[in-house]
């Protein structure tokens, strides 16, 4: 089963390999990983999508918590959250497909960010399933290149995760 | 007044109460070694960096203090790896200081450069690269705190040469502030209540004790707990010396080379109380048939140890010096139920006693060849009660665990988790440095001994009177045993064909050597060895194809023991 974990870490040199090394060293899977500093510049926030059964997930959270540079681990599996991912897609755009691509872009509220006589580059944000769906529709039209950011998440409601509290 | 980084480091060590360090000098630690000449800290020069780390590790295992080792950058630092991994697997508190090339050269493939923070990340509890001398005192303070708190472990501090030479005002922080590191100490009272309840309801309880009990010095609490509930108690290799085998409740060691009765007790138990143990594969055998009828209470300071290998019915995160007295208190607050439980488990104790009688730990004595088990029994008989025994890894290690009855905590020093051959001699060195007046014995095999035999020089130089026992079968015996049992006696590369003259080797280093080839010589050689001042090798030519038994074959269940060859 897929799980999304948010990890607040010290924004320090060498923290990323500690986290990624833990996953590879213990045979855990990383589907995606996003990192950037938070409002507090001494803390970075990682969003990791991983998969495994309950026992594996429990080990992952415990092992992450054990790292000295990890301040907080939040597993969003059992609580409501908003999830967003961004993708940028380069599509071949010949005369006969240009209009169809734009229609799809419109339906998914995506945006064309670069145009040439033979291609469109579009940007789309949304839940990962929405991006999957858009890619499926564009695939027959000739996707040349795809880059996905991996999802980031935010818990629903007024409560905020900022540091160790 | 400003001080240099190397001076700051040594002052920090002194403030942490470090008296002895083990190490080996080199280009990037030359400043530290220069300042060491003006420091009260005693330094022992080993003949290999790996040995320095093992020695510091054993120094910690016998004293409970944080062990400290120093090595230079590059090859000096990479030579420490096996030592660090050994300490990590057995949760030994250590601080390892490695030199590093100057910061502007880091990443340039400079002479004797190795990325130690990268290399040691998976085998340290935490590690640091010090980039600014102003951070040094704080980092050393944190390193010691992390090493000794929670589940202990080794911490590496990589110190570039220019940081050692740079100056700063020295101020040692009073406290440590780490927002990401807050180890649990006091256990949750509700979990303890549940534990008490489960213990009172159990009819076939077994206590299973690991290295956590050794590390937290709870022998007395353990005895009080076991006696309160009158449950059979088994230990792992790492927990062994924390509970004497002579105690009527002791069933000895469990697992691959455990006793018949310990493994039978665990297999038939209805409650397993795990204390500071981590259900290692050498302990559990096949997980599916491990303690199949038992509910499991798992007390550990490290939450990741709980439910890692086996299902657990009641997790208790906490330290044993807190948990054990509170459990005893909880049990004694219900005297009637406790008395009833003790009475109701009498049948279980009788059953365990019957297993003990059925297959006691035994071996066949012979007149013609020396049996290794006999040497170990004689060693116990003729050594002091507080003698410290270290081992290498292999058959001799298991025979020591099986036949040397340890009576005092922190007297058995062995590499359990990593299983490091070559550990015992430098470990004995470190233990003897900690306790110059106590008897220190390294039980070794002819294979393991040769992995760090250069440390004979260190023993002689520092007048450390370690007694080395070599059980010589001219084989890498444990692997040979597996080849005999599971590979049709095809002894691939396990016969050490060249006979070494260990007596001459001892003499070459300025030590003494004695040899026994017949059973009747064993006692004399041990007496002579103990009576001779200074380091001594006692070599015993043992039965070449003797096996360690009982044995649970790898991947089999604990109840599928091989009891005789």
Contact yes or no for B303 and A66 at CB 8 A: yes
Q: Could you tell me if B445 and B77 are in contact, meaning their C-beta atoms sit under 8 angstroms apart?
A: no
pLDDT in tens, A15-53: 999 999 999 999 999 999 999 999 999 999 999 999 999
- How confident is the model over B328-352, as pLDDT tens digits? 999 999 999 999 999 999 999 999 9
> Which tokens in the block code for residue B75?
């090859």
**Cα of A18 to nearest chain B Cα, Å:** 7
- pTM of the predicted structure, to 2 decimals: 0.96
Which of the four pLDDT bands, split at 50, 70 and 90, describes residue A120?
very high
Do A163 and B303 count as a contact with CB atoms less than 8 A apart? no
Closest alpha carbon to B546 in B402, B430, B406, B417: B402
HSE-up (13 A, CA, CB side) for residue B76: 27
What gap in Å lies between CA B399 and CA B419, rounded to an integer? 15
pLDDT tens per residue, range B442-454:
999 999 999 999 9
Query: Pick from B122, B179, B304: which is nearest to A66 by CB?
Result: B304
- Determine the residue of chain A that is closest to B123 in CA distance: A25
Looking at the predicted structure, is the pLDDT value of residue B558 above 70? yes
Two structure tokens written together for B263: 């493994």
Mean pLDDT of B69-80: 98
Is A6 in contact with A153 (CB distance < 8 Å)?
Answer: yes
Q: Which two tokens stand for residue B528?
A: 């002579």
Q: Taking Cα atoms as reference points, which of B367, B381, B361 lies closest to residue B261?
A: B361
- Taking the CA atoms of residue B120, residue B123, residue B125 and residue B130 in that order, the dihedral angle to the nearest 10 degrees is -10
Look at A70 and B180 and tell me if their CB atoms are within 8 Å. Answer: yes
> Residue A163 has what pLDDT?
61
Q: Name which of A25, A66, A67, A163 to mutate to probe chain B: the one with the most chain B Cβ atoms within 10 A of its Cβ.
A: A66
Which residue numbers of B have CB closer than 8 Å to A's CBs? 117-118, 121-122, 125-126, 129, 131, 146, 178-181, 302-304, 307-308
- Residue B424, token pair as written in the block: 């015992």
Q: Do A17 and B118 touch (CB under 8 A)?
A: yes
Residue of chain A with shortest Cα separation from B120: A18
More confident residue, A163 or B310: B310
Residue tagged active-site, from B111, B220, B364, B518? B111
Nearest by CB to residue A71, choosing from B129, B179, B303, is B179
Catalytic residue among B3, B11, B22, B49: B49
Collect all residues of chain A within an 8 Å Cβ-Cβ radius of residue B181.
68
Query: CA torsion sign, B296 to B300 to B304 to B309?
Result: negative
Task: With a cut of 60, say whether residue B255 has pLDDT above it.
Answer: yes
Residues of chain B found within 8 Å of residue A21, distances taken between Cβ atoms: 121-122
Strand A2-10 and strand A43-51: the pairing is antiparallel
Quick one: how far is CA B205 from the chain centroid? Answer: 27
* Model confidence at A164: pLDDT above 60: no
Catalytic site includes residue B112: yes
Chain A residues touching B126 at Cβ < 8 A: 68
CB contact under 8 A, B304 and A70: no
CA–CA separation, B119 and B509 (whole Å) = 34
Percent of chain A with pLDDT over 90: 89
CA distance B31 to A50: 47
Residue B484, pLDDT above cutoff 60: yes
Beta partners for residue B454, in sequence order: none
Residue of chain A minimizing CA distance to B181: A68
Query: What is the rounded average pLDDT for all residues in chain B?
Result: 97
DSSP-assigned letters across all residues of A84-129:
EEEEEEEEE--TTTHHHHHHHHHHTT-EEEEEETTEEEEEEEE-HH
Answer yes or no: is pLDDT of B565 > 90. Answer: no
* Contact between B129 and A62 using a beta-carbon 8 Å cutoff: no
Radius of gyration of chain B (CA): 24
User: How many CB atoms neighbour CB A57 within 10 A?
Assistant: 18
- Six-digit token pair at B114? 């190795």
Residue A79: pLDDT band (50, 70, 90) is: confident
In order of A43, A72, B59, B479, B529, the CA distances from B179 in angstroms are 11, 9, 31, 47, 53
Q: Are residues A17 and B122, on separate chains, in Cβ contact within 8 Å?
A: no
For residue B269, what pLDDT is reported?
98
Over residues B28-57, the mean pLDDT reads 98
Chain B nearest CA to A73, separation (Å): 10
Residue pairs spanning A and B at CB distance below 8 A: 38
8 A C-beta contact, residue B241 and residue B214: yes
pLDDT tens per residue, range B154-165? 999 999 999 999
Number of other CB atoms surrounding residue B141 within 10 Å: 18
Q: What is the DSSP string of B284-308?
A: HSSGGGSSTT-EEEEEES-GGGTTS
Q: Enumerate the residues of chain A whose CB falls inside 8 A of the CB of residue B100.
A: none
Does residue B426 surpass a pLDDT of 90? yes
Model confidence at A108: pLDDT above 70: yes
Consecutive H or E run containing A48:
strand A43-51
* C-alpha count within 13 angstroms, C-beta hemisphere, residue A37: 7
Any CB–CB contact under 8 A between A59 and chain B?
A: yes
- In angstroms, what separates the C-alpha of A97 from chain B's closest C-alpha? 50
Instruction: Kindly list the residues from chain B whose CB atom is less than 8 angstroms away from the CB atom of residue A58.
Output: 307
Rounded-to-integer distance, Cα A162 and Cα B68, Å: 37
Average pLDDT over residues B119-140: 98
How far is the alpha carbon of B302 from chain A, nearest alpha carbon, in Å?
A: 8
| CA–CA distance, B322 with B107 (Å, rounded to integer) | 46
Residue B144 annotated to the active site:
no
- B478 assigned to active site: yes
Identify the residue whose tokens are 């833990």: A22
Choose among B117, B178, B302: nearest Cβ to A14.
B117
Q: Does the annotation mark B111 as catalytic? A: yes
Q: Which of B161, B204, B245, B467 is catalytic?
A: B161
pLDDT, residue A76, reads 86
CA distance B96 to B67: 8
Interface touch A69/B180, C-beta < 8 Å: yes
User: What pLDDT sits at residue B86?
Assistant: 98
Q: Give the other-Cβ count within 10 Å of B274's Cβ.
A: 26
Strand pairing of A81-92 and A43-51?
unpaired
Q: Which helix (H) or strand (E) holds B209?
A: strand B205-209
> Strand, coil or helix: what is A32?
strand
Q: Please tell me the distance from the alpha carbon of residue B286 to that of residue B288, in angstroms, as a whole number.
A: 6
A25 touches chain B (CB under 8 A): yes
pLDDT, residue B184, reads 85
Is A56 near chain B, with CB under 8 Å? no
Of the candidates A62, A5, A56, the one whose C-alpha atom is nearest the C-alpha of residue A35 is: A5
Q: Measure the CA–CA gap between A63 and B307, rounded to whole angstroms.
A: 12
DSSP β-bridge partners for residue A34:
A47
**To the nearest whole angstrom, how far is the Cα of B169 from the nearest Cα of chain A?**
24
Are residues A66 and B178, on separate chains, in Cβ contact within 8 Å?
no
- Answer whether B26's CB lies under 8 Å from B71's CB: yes
Q: Report the alpha-carbon distance of residue A165 to residue A161 in Å, rounded.
A: 8
CA distance A83 to chain B (A): 26
Q: In whole angstroms, how large is the CA radius of gyration of chain A?
A: 19
The one-character DSSP state at B131 is -
A36 Cα to chain B: minimum distance (Å): 18
pLDDT band at B1 (very low <50, low <70, confident <90, very high): confident
A165 interface with B at CB cutoff 8 Å: no
Phi-psi bin for A142: left (phi > 0), alpha (psi -120 to 50), beta?
A: left
How deeply is B229 buried, as exposed, middle or buried, from its count of CB atoms within 10 A (0-12, 13-18, 19+)? buried
Q: Convert the pLDDT of each residue in B81-117 to its tens digit.
A: 999 999 999 999 999 999 999 999 999 999 999 999 9
């Amino acid at each position: 089963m897929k799980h999304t974990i948010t990890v607040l870490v010290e924004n320090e040199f060498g923290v990323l390999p500690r986290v990624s090394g833990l996953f590879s060293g213990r045979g855990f899977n990383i589907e995606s990983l996003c990192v950037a500093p938070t409002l507090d510049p001494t803390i970075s926030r990682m969003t990791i999508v991983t998969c495994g059964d309950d026992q594996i997930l429990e080990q992952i959270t415990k092992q992450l918590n054990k790292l000295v540079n990890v301040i907080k681990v939040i597993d969003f599996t059992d609580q409501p959250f908003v999830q967003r991912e961004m993708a940028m897609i380069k599509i071949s755009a010949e005369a006969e497909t240009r209009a169809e691509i734009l229609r799809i872009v419109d339906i998914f509220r995506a945006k064309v960010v670069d145009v040439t006589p033979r291609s469109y580059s579009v940007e789309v944000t949304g839940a990962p399933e929405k991006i999957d769906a858009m890619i499926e529709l564009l695939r027959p039209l000739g996707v040349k290149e795809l880059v996905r950011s991996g999802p980031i998440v935010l818990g629903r409601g007024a409560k905020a995760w900022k540091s160790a509290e | 007044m400003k001080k240099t980084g190397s001076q700051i480091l040594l002052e920090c060590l002194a403030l942490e109460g470090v008296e002895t360090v083990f190490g080996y000098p080199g280009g990037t630690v030359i400043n530290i070694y220069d300042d060491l000449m003006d420091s009260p800290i005693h330094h022992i020069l080993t003949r290999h960096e790996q040995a320095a780390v093992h020695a510091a590790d054993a120094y910690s295992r016998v004293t409970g203090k944080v062990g400290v080792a120093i090595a230079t950058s590059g090859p000096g630092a990479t030579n420490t790896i096996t030592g660090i991994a050994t300490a990590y697997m057995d949760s030994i508190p250590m601080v390892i200081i490695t030199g590093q090339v100057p910061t502007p050269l880091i990443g340039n493939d400079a002479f004797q450069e190795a990325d130690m923070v990268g290399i040691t990340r998976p085998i340290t509890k935490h590690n640091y690269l010090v980039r600014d001398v102003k951070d040094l005192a704080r980092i050393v303070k944190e390193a010691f705190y992390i090493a000794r708190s929670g589940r202990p472990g080794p911490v590496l501090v990589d110190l570039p040469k220019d940081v050692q030479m740079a100056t700063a005002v020295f101020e040692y922080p009073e406290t440590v502030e780490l927002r990401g590191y807050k180890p649990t100490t006091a256990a949750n009272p509700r979990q303890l209540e549940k534990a008490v309840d489960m213990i009172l309801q159990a009819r076939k309880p077994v206590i299973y004790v690991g290295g956590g009990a050794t590390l937290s010095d709870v022998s007395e609490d353990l005895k009080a707990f076991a006696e309160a509930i009158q449950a059979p108690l088994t230990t792992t290799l790492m927990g062994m010396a924390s509970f004497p085998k002579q105690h009527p409740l002791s069933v000895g060691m469990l697992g691959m080379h455990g006793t018949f009765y310990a493994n039978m007790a665990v297999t038939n138990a209805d409650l397993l109380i795990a204390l500071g143990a981590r259900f290692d594969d050498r302990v559990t055998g096949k997980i599916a048939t491990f303690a199949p009828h038992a509910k499991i209470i798992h007390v550990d300071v490290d939450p990741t140890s709980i439910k890692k290998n086996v299902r657990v019915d009641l997790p208790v995160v906490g330290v044993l010096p807190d948990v054990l007295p509170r459990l005893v208190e909880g049990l004694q607050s219900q005297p009637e139920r406790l008395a009833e439980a003790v009475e109701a488990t009498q049948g279980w104790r009788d059953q365990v006693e019957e297993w003990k009688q059925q297959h006691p730990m035994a071996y066949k004595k012979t007149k013609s060849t020396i049996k290794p088990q006999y040497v170990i029994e004689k060693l116990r008989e003729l050594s002091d009660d507080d003698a410290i025994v270290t081992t290498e890894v292999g058959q001799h290690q298991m025979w020591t665990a099986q036949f040397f009855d340890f009576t005092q905590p922190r007297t058995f020093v062995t590499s359990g988790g990593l299983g490091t051959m070559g550990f015992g001699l430098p470990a004995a060195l470190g233990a003897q440095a900690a306790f110059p007046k106590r008897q220190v014995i390294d039980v070794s095999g002819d294979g393991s001994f040769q992995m760090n035999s250069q440390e004979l020089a260190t023993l002689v130089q520092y007048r450390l009177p370690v007694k080395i026992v070599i059980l010589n079968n001219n084989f890498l015996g444990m692997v040979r045993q597996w080849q005999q049992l599971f590979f049709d006696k095809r002894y691939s590369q396990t016969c050490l064909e060249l006979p070494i003259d260990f007596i001459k080797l001892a003499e070459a280093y300025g030590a003494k050597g004695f040899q026994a080839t017949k059973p009747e010589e064993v006692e004399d050689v041990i007496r002579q060895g103990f009576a001779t001042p200074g380091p001594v090798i006692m070599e015993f030519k043992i039965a070449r194809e003797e096996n360690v038994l009982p044995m649970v074959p790898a991947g089999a269940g604990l109840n599928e023991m091989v009891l005789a060859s």
